[in-house]
């Protein structure tokens, strides 16, 4: 009988831990959407404006398509932020989001650029 009680308590603790991890991951994804996405978009628009030439006109339609591509999935927002040095690996470590970013890269690997 004590075995079943101990197993039930251990299982309950494990479920609570999984819930805590899921909430942290969700908060990380919301942070990407609310805080990093505008910074990434601003950087992309500046980058497109600075590289405008006859060969690459980078007009409004091109900018909209580029923003749509990079903003469509959370993993692309993260990838763009890392590629453009908006955030770095140290920021991920300092905020405790290194595992969340690894998990996001794994579950959305088919959507990477």
pLDDT tens-digit readout, 24-62: 999 999 999 999 999 999 999 999 999 999 888 989 999
Polymer length of the chain: 113
Q: What is the pLDDT of residue 113?
A: 75
Work out the number of other CB atoms within 10 angstroms of the CB of residue 39: 15
pLDDT exceeding 70 applies to what percent of the chain? 100
- Rounded CA-CA distance 84/68 in Å is 17
For residues 53 and 63, is the Cβ–Cβ distance under 8 A?
no
Measured in Å, how far apart are the chain's first and last C-alpha atoms?
54
């Amino acid at each position: 009988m004590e075995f079943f009680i101990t197993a039930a308590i251990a299982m309950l603790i494990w479920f609570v831990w999984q819930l805590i991890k899921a909430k942290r991951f969700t908060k990380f994804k919301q942070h990407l959407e609310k805080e990093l996405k505008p910074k990434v978009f601003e950087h992309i628009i500046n980058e497109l404006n600075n590289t405008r030439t006859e060969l690459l006109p980078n007009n409004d339609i091109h900018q909209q398509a580029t923003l749509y591509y990079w903003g469509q999935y959370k993993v692309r927002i993260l990838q763009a932020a890392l590629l453009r040095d908006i955030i770095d690996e140290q920021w991920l470590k300092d905020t405790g989001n290194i595992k969340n970013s690894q998990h996001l890269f794994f579950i959305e690997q088919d959507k990477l650029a």
